[in-house]
Amino acid sequence: MKRFITASLAGLGTLMASAVALAEQPHEWGIGLQAARSPIKVEMEHFHTELLWIISAIVLLVMGLLAYVMVRFRAGRNPVPSKVTHNTLLEICWTGIPVLILVVIAIPSLKLLYLQDKQPDADMTIKVTGHQWYWSYEYADAAAGGGDADFGFDSYLIPDNEIDPAKGQIRLLSVDNEVIIPADTKVRFVITGADVIHSWAIPSLGIKMDAVPGRLNEAWTYVPAKYIGETFYGQCSEICGINHGFMPIAVRAVSREDYAKWLEQAKTKFASAAPSEAPGIGAVAQLAP
Ligand SMILES: [Cu+2]
């Protein structure tokens, strides 16, 4: 028993340590939501907690009623059952109250959906394209606050045998080219697919948006300055083929100054490496009679 407690405490210690160090990525034994790093995710957490209270209250009420009925109206205690089948007031209540609960849930839910949906005054836009099996990113009006910087790059998983934990790289989550965004900036993402449907999802930013060929979906984020230097990890969240599990997403927030510096380097570094054409669409066109 003593050993068990010691082991549990040690486990808890590691768990808490890892929860601090790895807040913006999945970690072992994690059961809660990933730590919020954007205003949308903060709202999502609130909504989640609110729903949890409502659900718990309903479960307790129904369980209590069932227990009461089973004890109070069992055959031994209630040998002659009542023949009543209708009760107008009761029926109005058990229809009306659930409707009210649904309305109470629907209002914040819709507010949150519209908050996520569009960001009309975004400072910059990044186009995200899902491919089998990697992501490509295009910085169109990438200079925050105006300016022009047209370039793009592909972002691939770092294979297991090249992962370097000393550099903070994480198996199945780290990529060769991270998406760099400035903190304290409204960043709009327009998301599409080149071949099949993928989904661009980053739990800590509260983003999960389908990448559908022939369609531009939208998402946005705003990372407060206190999270500068953090990397937010995500994975493709729509089964898209054999390597669906091997096209992770890594977004890093940097200061506006560092972003400007990175932008200068990136413009030359990625100038020659234009993002790949959509191979899926080309292949289909060739197959057509
Ligand atoms: Cu995918």
Domains in the chain with CATH codes: 39-117 (1.10.287), 124-273 (2.60.40.420)
Distance 279 CA to ligand 1 centre (A): 14
Instruction: Give pLDDT, residue 286.
Output: 37
Cβ neighbours of residue 109 under 8 Å, at least 6 residues apart? 47
Look at residue 7 and tell me whether its pLDDT is greater than 60: no
Instruction: Give pLDDT, residue 101.
Output: 95
Q: Judge contact between 41 and 102, C-beta under 8 A.
A: no
Distance 8 CA to ligand 1 centre (A): 38
Instruction: Give pLDDT, residue 180.
Output: 95
| Mean per-residue pLDDT over the chain, rounded | 85
Look at residue 287 and tell me whether its pLDDT is greater than 50: no
Look at residue 125 and tell me whether its pLDDT is greater than 80: yes
Mean pLDDT value across residues 54-69 = 96
Q: What's CA 152's distance to the chain center, in Å?
A: 23
181 pLDDT tier (thresholds 50, 70, 90): very high
Three-state SS annotation for 101-157: HHHHHHHHHHHHHHHHHCCCCCCEEEEEEEECCEEEEEECECCCCCCCECEEEEECE
Q: Judge contact between 147 and 136, C-beta under 8 A.
A: no
Distance 116 CA to ligand 1 centre (A): 21
Instruction: Map residue 252 onto helix, strand or coil.
Output: strand
Distance 246 CA to ligand 1 centre (A): 8
Q: Judge contact between 240 and 133, C-beta under 8 A.
A: yes
111 pLDDT tier (thresholds 50, 70, 90): very high
Q: Would you say the C-alpha torsion 79, 85, 89, 92 has a positive or negative sign?
A: positive
Distance 282 CA to ligand 1 centre (A): 18
Instruction: Measure the N-to-C terminal CA separation of the chain; round to a whole number of Å.
Output: 72
Task: Give the C-alpha separation, 289 to 286, whole Å.
Answer: 8
Choose among 189, 187, 170, 182: nearest CA to 228.
Answer: 182
Distance 234 CA to ligand 1 centre (A): 11
Instruction: Map residue 237 onto helix, strand or coil.
Output: coil
Q: Judge contact between 231 and 250, C-beta under 8 A.
A: yes
Distance 45 CA to ligand 1 centre (A): 26
Q: What percent of the chain has pLDDT over 90?
A: 66
Instruction: Give pLDDT, residue 22.
Output: 44
Instruction: Give pLDDT, residue 11.
Output: 45
Q: Hey, which bits of the chain come out as E strands?
A: 124-131, 134-139, 151-155, 179-182, 186-193, 198-202, 207-211, 217-222, 231-234, 249-254
65 pLDDT tier (thresholds 50, 70, 90): very high
Distance 201 CA to ligand 1 centre (A): 10
Distance 9 CA to ligand 1 centre (A): 39
Look at residue 146 and tell me whether its pLDDT is greater than 60: no
Those residues whose beta carbon sits under 5 angstroms from the ion ligand 1 are 198, 236, 240
Give the residue carrying structure tokens 């609130």.
46
pLDDT tens digits for 81-93? 889 899 999 999 9
Distance 86 CA to ligand 1 centre (A): 54
Which amino acid is located at 286 in the chain?
Q
Distance 28 CA to ligand 1 centre (A): 24
Instruction: Give pLDDT, residue 30.
Output: 81
Distance 173 CA to ligand 1 centre (A): 14
